[in-house]
Amino acid sequence: MNRHITLLLMLCLSLNGAISLQAQSDTGKQDIMKADRIRKNTIRINVTNPLIFGDRSLILGYERTIGEHQSFSINGGLAKLPKFNLISIVDDSIVQLYKDSKDKGFLFTGDYRFYLASENKYRAPRGLYIGPFVSYAYMGRENTWNLNTETFHGEVNTDFSFQTTAIGAQLGYQFVLWKRVALDFVLIGPSVAWYSLNAKLDTNLEADDESALYAKIDEILSERFPGYTFVLDDVDFKKTGSTNTRSFGFRYTIHLGYRF
């Protein structure tokens, strides 16, 4: 009898050990599956630029998490000036802008993000973040103008270019919806920015005619380009057609992304 009891106890202990090993194995598999479900990559589209510049702007981006609370992102694509409406002034008309024009331009932005562990319940890329960023943008346009003054009558072609380089810091918040959808808001992004404006003419004009043409371009840009007067209102582009200046910049962006 004692021998039977001993064998029964040994069998129970063996089964218990096997069950424990199986449970540990299952737990390990679950941990591996959980690790596999961590989505470190996000592809996204900038929805702010199209709202401002229309369908002439298309900026795509990629964000990659590093560890639990950091990430880096790069963004790039087409960035063109907003469309100019046909300008026609009945009285004292000096410049008329034709609708036909050639556009070119691109934008590149890179940033590094620190998702604040003390403020966020979840790992990156969800929650409040801060970090540095750098951006570069180039926009160009060739236009045909009809210029009628006392000394010149005819068409003038201009090759206009706008460049900006910015280095700054940002604060933002990213929401993750349904595990796959990322909605990213760059809320505050002050920077130091370098601006360059240049308008080349295809013909020689009198100084007064050049000033009239540059003043008209300056007026159009101030109406159609957000933040133009705030940044460049104090420069003398309207007289010379060219300027380089340093000023403050600001970044505000909304991204819509997909995580994988």
Pair 82, 22 in one domain: no
Average pLDDT over residues 244-249: 88
Quick: pLDDT tens for 28-69.
Answer: 444 433 444 789 999 999 999 888 777 778 999 999 999 999
What is the length of the chain? 260
* Model confidence, pTM: 0.78
Whether the pLDDT of residue 251 is over 70: the answer is yes
Pair 100, 30 in one domain: no
Whole domain around residue 150: which residue ranges? 40-259
Pair 29, 82 in one domain: no
Pair 196, 236 in one domain: yes
Distance from chain centroid for Cα 135: 8
Q: Of the segments 6-10, 80-84, 125-129, 204-208, which one has the largest average pLDDT value?
A: 125-129
Pair 28, 53 in one domain: no
- Burial of residue 240 (number of CB atoms within 10 Å: 0-12, 13-18, 19+): middle
Pair 67, 80 in one domain: yes
For position 227, which CATH number holds? 2.40.160
Pair 85, 125 in one domain: yes
When the pLDDT of each residue in the chain is averaged and rounded to a whole number, the result is 81
Average pLDDT over residues 163-172: 97
Local structure of 106: helix, strand or coil: strand
- Burial of residue 186 (number of CB atoms within 10 Å: 0-12, 13-18, 19+): buried
Q: Which of 93-97, 118-122, 139-143, 173-177 has the lowest mean pLDDT?
A: 93-97
Number of domains in the chain: 2
Pair 8, 122 in one domain: no
Contact call for residues 62 and 71 (beta carbons, < 8 A): no
Pair 114, 151 in one domain: yes
Average pLDDT over residues 192-202: 91
Task: Select from 256, 257, 235, 253 the least CA-distant residue to 244.
Answer: 235
Pair 146, 59 in one domain: yes
152's CB contacts (< 8 A; 6+ apart) are 205, 206, 209
Pair 25, 60 in one domain: no
Pair 5, 68 in one domain: no
Residue 157's pLDDT band (cuts 50, 70, 90): confident
